[in-house]
């Protein structure tokens, strides 16, 4: 009996007696092989089964490749914007980047760990108390690169680096109108109500004026 070779695609099947197939396998460079012994099959039946098996394996390989290509395309489409950003979006992104850079460079910002260290809090879980202060609106934080940063101007050194009591009043005036970054922008910006001074510079020396400026800001938004 002669060994029959079927190569529908990249898959090769060998049909023949164990000795004939073994001889061909010795010369094969395949990393893996599948052997299907047929105890009572004729040459034609074995040949038909080999062709069928080669076709099925080829189909599965093609389907897997197409599935991988579809998955890759889906991932690329999820990451890449649907369309190029407009000039307006690019300008807005640049303005936002400049504003945030100004905030970061315009004050001392402390991590929860550094704040806990200054305040002499327990080093076991340093973020617990600062986060509690934030939830109670005694202080706020900006979220940058996955980390909360607390404003140094919001702390009172004479009180053991606890949040300034009047800061809570300012935060209560704004309520949910401003997030951490919005509050940071407001404290950093020159304020006409304060004679052009920045709220973060006035907070320690004239806190009542800062509270009044916050109320003026909110009332101006409501009536504007």
pLDDT digits (tens, 9 = 90+) for 123-170: 788 889 999 999 999 999 999 999 999 999 999 999 999 999 999 999
When divided into structural domains, the chain yields a total of 2
75 and 19 in a common domain = yes
Bridge partners of 13, per DSSP, are: 6
Q: Name the nearest CA neighbour of 129 among 143, 117, 145.
A: 117
pLDDT at 20 over 70: yes
Exposure of 1 in the CB half-sphere (CA atoms within 13 A): 16
Structural domain harbouring 61: 4-79
Question: Do residues 64 and 92 both lie within one domain?
Answer: no
Predicted TM-score (pTM) of this structure: 0.62
**The tokens 């002499």 sit on which residue?**
120
139 in the same domain as 47 = no
- Domain end (from 22, 53, 79): 79
Domain boundary among 33, 63, 79: 79
The backbone torsions φ and ψ at residue 146, rounded to the nearest 5 degrees and listed phi first, read 80, 5
């Amino acid at each position: 009996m002669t060994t029959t070779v079927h190569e529908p695609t990249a898959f090769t099947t060998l049909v023949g007696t164990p000795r004939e197939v073994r001889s061909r396998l010795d010369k094969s460079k395949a990393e893996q092989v599948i052997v299907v012994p047929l105890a009572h099959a004729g040459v034609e039946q074995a040949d038909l089964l080999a062709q069928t098996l080669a076709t099925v394996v080829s189909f599965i390989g093609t389907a897997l490749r197409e599935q991988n290509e579809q998955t890759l395309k889906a991932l690329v489409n999820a990451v890449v914007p649907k369309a190029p950003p407009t000039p307006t979006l690019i300008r807005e992104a640049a303005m936002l980047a400049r504003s945030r850079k100004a905030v970061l460079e315009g004050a001392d910002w402390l991590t929860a760990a550094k704040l806990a260290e200054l305040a002499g809090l327990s080093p076991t879980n340093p973020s617990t108390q600062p986060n509690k202060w934030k939830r109670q609106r005694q202080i706020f934080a900006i979220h940058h690169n996955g980390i909360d940063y607390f404003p140094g101007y919001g702390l009172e050194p004479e009180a053991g680096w606890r949040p300034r009591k009047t800061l809570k009043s300012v935060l209560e005036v704004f309520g949910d109108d401003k997030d951490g970054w919005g509050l940071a922008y407001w404290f950093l910006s020159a304020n006409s109500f304060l004679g052009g001074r920045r709220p973060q510079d006035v907070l320690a020396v004239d806190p009542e004026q800062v509270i009044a400026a916050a109320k003026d800001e909110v009332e101006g938004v409501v009536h504007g």
